[in-house]
Each structure stands twice: as structure tokens, then as C-alpha cells.
Amino acid sequence: MNGSALFVHYLPTEVVALWYLQIVAHFTASWCIPSVFMNSFFEDLASSYKDALFLIVDVDEVKEVARRLKVKAMPTFMFLKDGNTMDKLVGANPDEIKKRVDGFVQSSRLEKSPSPSLSASQQEIMPEKKPKSWGLIDWDQRSWAGFMSSLSRYYRHYENNKRTGRIIGPLAIKWNCLCESKMKANVVVAKDGTGKYKTVNEAVLAAPENSNSRYVIYVKKGVYKETIDIGKKKKNLMLVGDGKDVTIITGSLNVVDGSTTFRSATVAANGDGFMAQDIWFQNTAGPAKHQAVALRVSADQSVINRCRIDAYQDTLYTHTLRQFYRDSFITGTVDFIFGNSAVVFQNCDIVARKPGAGQKNMLTAQGREDPNQNTAISFQKCRLTASSDLAPVKGSVKTFLGRPWKLYSRTVIMQSFIDNHIDPAGWFPWDGDFALSTLYYGEYANNGPGADTSKRVKWKGFKVIRDSKEADKFTVAKLIQGGLWLKPTGVAVAHTIGHVAATVSMSKVAVSFTHIIKSGEPAFSVLVSRLFLGETFPLPVYLSLLPIIGGCALAAVTELNFNMIGFMGAMISNLAFVFRNIFSKKGMKGKSVSGMNYYACLSMMSLLLVTPFAIAVEGPQMWAAGWQNAVSEIGPNFVWWVVAQSVFYHLYNQVSYMSLDQITPLTFSVGNTMKRISVIVASIIIFHTPIRPVNSLGAAIAILGTFIYSQAKQ
């Protein structure tokens, strides 16, 4: 439910419940656990939430809030992830209240309502006179302490109004930490010159790169004829218009006139965290021009809210990663929603248009290529209807729910209205029997004249879903947010193996020998990055690795000695650390978990993994007897060495994971190689290894290789 806001003014308990369930969505969480939702806000509703998933925020703050609010069960004050339960809450609101709230939301868009309270009172959502202590939570501050204070204040209002049946106000339901009454545009685009820019492209190009905060571009009403490519580095960028019927971005690139499908998009969004609201995206090429994309989204955690997306063939390219569309209007003909993202459409209008001569309408063409990919197209509580030009000829023009673009295509339609323009067979093959046994097409609890599944296709991959648990896999909570916290168990195993193997290696051979072998980590990283992340690099990048590896080998050539256990330990450590780095990067990509939090989790899990093995191998040597023997043999400095090693080792890894937030695994590996040069040189000095010219030459070559690599990457 990202990208919109709702204002609650003396509304029923269900609406306040909805606010409370979403109000902590922004704050970083660490674990997902089942919990009982029980507090004084929801005594009447508590039984509905016993099996829901919650996200814990700060434990100490949770306890403090629980104490203040007299919460009956712990842990609590968490963000509900269960999409079905959320939908029940939304459905519980009376139609009249929902209508009023929707109307208020529509009328209080960016820079349109200087006084939200006045706007609300004019629509009879709240009284004109309000208590002096009322106020809006300022989400832009992102302050947990401030939030706690505001919550405490609102709770007092709740208690004071409880006896009269009135509810707190004004409160904002925040779907992505964007309170509309507080949200201010960073720049304004206006055709008439009243903004900073006259074109959207100018504003996008001027937007900051790799921004950690939301950057809002307000596009005033008008028709903007331009093609916009929002680059990968333009993160957390948001386009906000005056409405999906008046702020129009239009283009006409198409395949027939020489463009590719990918490049034909009127607007292409690549930067993670992209959001669009109240905008009309068009490609006006027409059905005779074949593929002509209106909007292409390749951004993780992207949100399209209250937008209109119009074209004919290939209207919306949901290219990749996680996407969410809410309250939007999408039209097209052939394969007009396609791609290989994990995408959920909620409460959207999916409208088929009259196609070109001899064409059939296909609402979807999902492109999952691997059964292990967590991608799919999911329609939930949408309306699948025919446009005014298709309705009169729907008897002669076939319209289908979709066809399999790739081998493991996956599409689910649930709890939606399907009109009678949909062919009774429902789905259509791509080419003969291609993908018919490997695809997954499901329908669950739909309604309308086209929802009858008795005459649907009999393919092995088609399913009429009966079990709500099966359908739940394709809700917002599971399909999009379910992968939010990549389970780090496998990463922790690689983390543990890497360190144990390196320690074993250094116990059998010289430190320099271990690091010679480990200097090959960038080469391993290139290979694994290519296979698992799909990253490719220019030839100069690959060539720049040769002097790095060779230089490290030369730097330690005077201390070469061979031992199979030491050699294998270093090689295993090499491979384990590369997998750790790459899958850590995947775990953090597009997620709100930071490198520091991720490493903290890995450290705790690694301790749990290695402790049983350490006890089995070391036995009593782990405890007092072992320490006494070490101190007697080495001296009291042994204790300080252990403490210093622990501190510096932790700091090294902490900085490493902080850097993984910002760089690729290959760059990380090159940095590790420079670390090895330092270790090799230090080991030569500490262990009094004679220095030869070849050592200095090797270090210089490795440093030069790192410089060449940095230039090649640019």
C-alpha cells in the first residue's frame, strides 16, 4: 500500500486500526515472527490477528510503548505484513466513509491543500474547530523519538474521545512515509513556466544520484511530449502530477518505426525506489505500429499509484524486480502487461482495447525463465473490463487473460471482477505446446460473467486455486514483501566456512602463502558475479585483474611453501568469501536492511554455527585449561592479543559490510586484495622475512592493477 495517504478524522475503529497497522512501516526491522496483536486500540478486532506476521522494530522502544499504552501482550507495536488481514480491514469500512476518505485524498494532493484540516472540515470529515494539541506527525523527520512522543500524545486524545465514540484526528495513514499534507516538492515542472523546469527530462537530469531520501518532482497539469529515461543512479525519485487525467507524459516510439521494444518506452524507470502518482503515461503509436511501450519499470520497490497507463501492444513493461500498482488504470491490446518482475496490481482497472485487424487481445505475457525465480504477475481485487471501442465487437475479437512468454511463466488473478469479454478458455498458448506444462496460471475467488472456470484450458500448468494459503503466495505480503528479508542462513554458513578455512590454512603454511592464494578472489568474484548476479564487465576490467593477482604473488614469492591442507584451506576460503559477498549483496539490494545490521545477524548466526563444532574439536581446551596453557606458554600478552584481534577483526568486517551497501562484489574483492598486500608486507616485517626487490615490485604491480581496474570501471 505504498504511495498514498489517508486522513482519519473521527472515523470508526476500523480506520484507526488501518492507520495503526501501517504507521511504523518505515522503521527498520530485523526479524519476522508470529505474534498476538493485542492492545487497547483493538480489543474488538484482536481475534483476527492471532496468526498474522509482524515486524519487530526497536525492542527497547517496543517495551516502552507497551508500558505507556498498557499493552496486554508482548512483543507488540509491529507492522502487520499479512495482506489478507489488511484487506479485511479495508473491507470493513462502510462505503460512505470510504467514499468520503477517497474524496478527501483526491482533493488534498501536493500543493493543493494548504490546510488539510480546513479541507477535511469542508467535506464534513472532521469538525471545523479542533483541539489545540492536535497535530500531524512529521514523517520527513524520520525521527523515532519524535514519533514516540506523537504517538503518546495521540493516545491521550484517543482515551479522551473514547467515551464519546470519537476517534483521534488528524492522523495520516502513510503507505511509504510520504504524508501528503507534509510532502513538499523538491522541484516543480510546469509547461507555462511557473515551475523551475518546463520539461520533466530537465528535472530528472537535475535530480541527485544515489539519494537515500525521497526526491519529489511535482509535474503540473499539461501535456509533456517527451521520452524520459530515469537512470539507475536516480534512486528514490518520485513523480507527482495533478491527476491521472490532466498531467500527461506522451510519446510514440515503436518497433515499426525502428525502435526496439525495450527502448520504445515513453517513460523508463531504472532507479530503485521509483514512485509515480497522479500521472498519465501514454504511447500513442497505435495498434498498427505493434510493440510500443508507455511505461517500463526496472526499479526495485517501485510504486505506481493512481496513474493511467495507455498504449496498445506492450503497454506496460514490468521488466524486473519488485513492483506495486495501486488504484491505476491500464489499457492495451496484445501482451499489454508483460515482463519478469514480482508485481502486484491492487484495485486497478485492466482494460482491453480494440486491437488491430487479425489480432487477439492478451492481458498478460509473464516472462519467468527459471522455476527458482520469485517472479509473477498478480491481480488482486482488480476489474478486468472492455473499453468502449472493444465492447461492441467483443463477440468477434478474442480476449484472453494471458499467454506464456517464457518457459516458467506465472500469472495469478484473485478476488477480481472478470467481465464477459474474456474468452471462456481464459488463456492462450504462445506457440504450440510450449510451456503448457511448466507455466503456473491460477485463478482464485474471482467474480463476474467471465470468472466461470468450467470451460478453462486443461493445461497441466493451469490451476483453479481452492486453498487460500496457495493464493496467499501471490499477495503483496508474500510476493513482494515476502522476499524483503533474505534469510541469511546460507550467507552465514559461507561466512563461517571462509574464516575457519583461512585460519586452518594459516596454521599450516606461511601467512603470505595463504594470502597469495586468496589474492585470486577477484577472479572468483568475476566468475560467480556473472553466474549468479548476471553482472558483466568490459574486457579491460577482466584484464586489470591479471596484474592484481600477479603482483600479490610476486610480493610474497620469497615465502612460498606448499602444504596441501594449507592450499585447500585458502582455496575453500576464497570461494566461500566470494559467495558470502555476492549473496550478502543480493540480500541487501533494494532492502531497508543496512550492511551493519546484516553483518550483526551474520555474526550471531556464525557463532551459533561454529560453537558446536568448536566444542567437539577443542573439548575442554576451550575453557579454563586451554586458556591457562596458552598464558603459560605465551605469557599474559596472550589475553590482550585475543582482545585486540577480536576488536580489529570486528571493525574490519563491519567496515566491509558497510562498503557492500555501496559497491559491487568485484570492487569489494579488489579492496580485499589491497588488504592482502598490507598483510603480506606486515607479515614480512613482523616475522623478519628478508625483503627482496621482487617483493616491492609485486606490491607496485598490484597497486597499479587496482588503479587500472578503477579506470576500467569508469
Tens digit of pLDDT for each residue in 326-354?
Answer: 889 999 999 999 999 999 999 899 999 99
CA distance linking residue 584 with residue 654, whole number of Å: 13
The reported pLDDT for the residue numbered 36 is 29
Low-confidence ranges of the chain (pLDDT < 70): 1-183, 477, 480-491, 510, 512-523, 529-536, 552, 555-562, 582-600, 617-628, 630, 653, 656-674, 676, 689-692, 695-696, 699, 703, 706-707, 709-714
The reported pLDDT for the residue numbered 113 is 36
| 567 C-beta neighbours (distance < 10 Å), count | 17
| 645 C-beta neighbours (distance < 10 Å), count | 10
Which residue matches cell numbers 594449507?
A: 566
Residues 6+ away with beta carbon under 8 Å from 161: 10, 167, 168
The reported pLDDT for the residue numbered 620 is 60
Which residue matches cell numbers 517496543?
A: 62
SS (H, E, C) 237-281: EEEEECCCCCEEEEECCCCCCCCCCHHHCCEEECCCCCEEECCEE
Find the length of the chain: 714
DSSP 623-636: SHHHHHHHHHHH-T
The reported pLDDT for the residue numbered 451 is 95
Residues 6+ away with beta carbon under 8 Å from 704: 547, 551
> In terms of C-beta density within 10 A (0-12 exposed, 13-18 middle, 19 or more buried), how is residue 614 classed?
middle
Catalytic residue among 278, 327, 335, 423: 335
The answer to whether the beta carbons of residues 136 and 8 sit under 8 Å apart is no
| 275 C-beta neighbours (distance < 10 Å), count | 24
CA distance linking residue 371 with residue 690, whole number of Å: 56
CA distance linking residue 550 with residue 560, whole number of Å: 14
Closest CA to 315 of 341, 350, 367, 269: 350
Tell me the sheet residues that pair with 34: 53
The reported pLDDT for the residue numbered 211 is 86
User: Which structural domains are found in the chain, ordered by start?
Assistant: 5-174 (no CATH), 185-316 (2.160.20.10), 333-484 (2.160.20.10), 489-713 (no CATH)
The reported pLDDT for the residue numbered 39 is 33
Q: What is the largest CA-CA distance in the chain?
A: 94
| 646 C-beta neighbours (distance < 10 Å), count | 10
CA distance linking residue 426 with residue 712, whole number of Å: 51
Closest CA to 183 of 112, 246, 96, 85: 112
Q: pTM (2 decimals)? A: 0.52
DSSP 133-172: T-----GGG--HHHHHHHHHHHHHHHHHHHTTT----SEE
CA distance linking residue 512 with residue 687, whole number of Å: 11
The reported pLDDT for the residue numbered 575 is 81
Over the Cα atoms of the chain, what is R_g?
29
Positive or negative: CA dihedral 83, 22, 57, 581: positive
Is the link from the previous residue into 170 a cis peptide, with omega within 30 of 0?
Answer: yes
How far, CA to CA in Å, does 425 sit from each of 177, 268, 429, 453, 456?
A: 43, 34, 11, 8, 4
Tell me the sheet residues that pair with 249: 224, 281
The reported pLDDT for the residue numbered 128 is 36
The reported pLDDT for the residue numbered 536 is 66
Q: Dihedral angle at the C-alpha atoms of 284, 289, 294, 299, nearest 10 degrees?
A: -170
The reported pLDDT for the residue numbered 667 is 65
Q: In what order do the strands lie in the sheet with 417-418?
A: 222-225, 247-251, 280-283, 308-310, 329-332, 349-352, 383-386, 417-418
Q: Is 325 helix (H, G, I), strand (E, B) or coil?
A: strand
Backbone angles phi, psi at 130, to 5 degrees: -125, 155
Is 389 noted as a catalytic residue in this protein? no
- Number of helices (H), then strands (E), in the chain: 18, 32
The reported pLDDT for the residue numbered 276 is 93
